[in-house]
Amino acid sequence: QMHLVESGGALVQPGGSLRLSCAGSGSIFSIYDMAWYRQAPGKQRELVAIITRSYTTTYVDSVKGRFTISRNNAKNTLYLQMNSLKPEDTAVYYCRNQNGWRGSWGQGTQVTVSS
């Protein structure tokens, strides 16, 4: 099973930027579609973005044009570049390898957008 560790979350002002990272180990990183999810307090976990093994990307409408998902398979790392951040982006962000029930979750990293 893949082990995933997220990092890069922080407190940032509206309009600011952050880059989240997700380091993978324990499996062959390059063969998996990878995803970022987020969960705000009192809300369900939401799929934010997916990048496939062939580098195709998909985004939830609320982040299109602002967020960019990418991956570096040589480093076993997934990224989420977040620009023009809004207070409603505040959440714990998680990464996942999209492998059905066998997919893993990281511990999450907190992103807080506030003035």
Instruction: Say whether pLDDT at 68 is over 90.
Output: yes
- In this prediction, residue 92 carries a pLDDT of 98
Q: For the segment 82-92, what is each residue's pLDDT rounded down to a tens digit? A: 999 999 999 99
Q: For the segment 77-113, what is each residue's pLDDT rounded down to a tens digit? A: 999 999 999 999 999 999 999 999 999 999 999 999 9
Question: Cβ contacts of residue 19 below 8 Å, gap of 6+?
Answer: 8, 79, 80, 81, 82
CA 84/CA 47 separation, integer angstroms: 19
